[in-house]
Chains A and B, each alone.
Chain A
Amino acid sequence: QKEVEQNSGPLSVPEGAIASLNCTYSDRVSQSFFWYRQYSGKSPELIMSIYSNGDKEDGRFTAQLNKASQYVSLLIRDSQPSDSATYLCAASGGYQKVTFGTGTKLQVIP
């Protein structure tokens, strides 16, 4: 079992809809969680970090963390075609090693 699990997708949503991306992790000592966006042929770009239970909002993005369920999610409101990319969930334990999931491919249909 991989330490960070994501559905590979593709997840298709119409333009303007809410995209919901989900992630589970297995290591209970994980303390820091990240969402990266990766366009095809490009390197990952950090879009959100979350450290405590609950929601964290930044513009159209909301990250949600539930440590009891070992679950992290990313909501993208008012999805745009430019949001089409692979979204990588990542978790970090007691020190700085960051473990990535395999990513969920999001397609926003105009």
Chain B
Amino acid sequence: GAGVSQSPRYKVAKRGQDVALRCDPISGHVSLFWYQQALGQGPEFLTYFQNEAQLDKSGLPSDRFFAERPEGSVSTLKIQRTQQEDSAVYLCASSLEDSTEAFFGQGTRLTVV
């Protein structure tokens, strides 16, 4: 596709439920990022992949958060046993190799009730 695609756009989860958020990057983009954005805040870095390798996961807030990109293309961010504080917009971005210009998907708005 022409841009970064994320699904679902909206997700309502009951507290304690597991969720999986999908990101389909721009074709040919080697780097993929996940960010969390709370209302009124800037995006906060979660994790970064170069191809299938997860090179930085320092921003994942707890061990309930897990991300993978097994074939170096589509990525999934999984949140286990969701809590209310996980409610946020989860943004995925991708960029070409050797470029830090990242392009964002439309995000997934997660609401934990």
Contact = CB atoms under 8 A, between A and B. Distances in A.
A99 B107 contact: no
B100 interface: yes
Interface in A58-94: 88, 90, 92
A96 B106 contact: no
A97 interface: yes
B105 A97 contact: no
A96 B56 CA distance: 10
Contacts of A99: 45
Contacts of B43: 44, 88, 100
Interface in B13-43: 31, 33, 35, 40-43
Nearest to A105: B40
Judged by DSSP, the binding face of A is: strand
Interface residues of B, number: 23
A95 B97 CA distance: 11
A109 interface: no
Interface residues of A, number: 23
23 contacts: A34-B101, A36-B104, A42-B106, A43-B91, A43-B104, A43-B105, A43-B106, A43-B107, A46-B102, A46-B103, A88-B42, A88-B43, A92-B100, A95-B55, A96-B95, A97-B33, A97-B56, A98-B45, A100-B42, A100-B45, A101-B42, A103-B41, A103-B42
Interface of A: 4, 6, 32, 34, 36, 42-46, 49, 88, 90, 92, 95-103
